[in-house]
Amino acid sequence: MRLYITRHGQTQWNIERRLQGWNDSPLTRIGVKRANDLANRLSGIDFDYVYTSDQNRAIKTADIVLKDKTTRKIQLDSLREIGFGSWEGMTLEEIEEKYEDGFNTYLNDPENYHPIEGESIFQLFKRVSLALDEILKNGGDNVLIVSHGVTIRALLCVIKGIGVDGFKNTHILAGTSLSIFDYKENKFNSICEGDTSHFTKR
């Protein structure tokens, strides 16, 4: 099995540096363009399944990437973005000003991050692990996963076996960047991570 993992395209709140979490905002012109760039890169791949979160920005990105392909699409709420609770809709600057200690803990000591009406890193890892188990169980030769920045960070930690301990050493990948892993005999082999070589300038 080969897993193709991508983040949704750039959104309006990404530009405004607002945390989206379980909220949503529309794809920008650049977000749509780069999703089309990824579609061109993957045009020759016959996907057995496409898994997306149940959030519109991921679904819309998947639709653009697939174009007229009839690949079966499966929405998993376990692939949605981490729930940021009270922080959602706020800019990073507003969060840092109002919740300085909590925000610093989230960035630098995520294992001890305690959300306000949201999800902990441990809760995120639990559902991401369940999502990956379901995807692997369903099988297929080529599988596309369209998810979100923090969720993909956790997913890659699970795939690489570095767990929650390794989370703080990861970073958010660019929207519609591509990470590819081969899965064989219960082992993952990285082909590329966060690759943006398909982005065009026009």
- DSSP, collapsed to helix, strand or coil, labels residue 110 as helix
Residue 185 among the catalytic residues: no
Annotated active-site residue in 81, 88, 119, 148: 81
Backbone phi, psi, residue 44, to 5°: -90, 5
Q: Which of 76, 71, 40, 78 is nearest to 143 (CA)?
A: 71
Residue 8 among the catalytic residues: yes
Radius of gyration of the chain (CA): 16
Strand ranges inside 68-172, DSSP E: 72-75, 142-147
- Give the pairing type, strands 178-184 and 2-7: antiparallel
Annotated active-site residue in 8, 88, 119, 148: 8
Active site residues: 8, 81
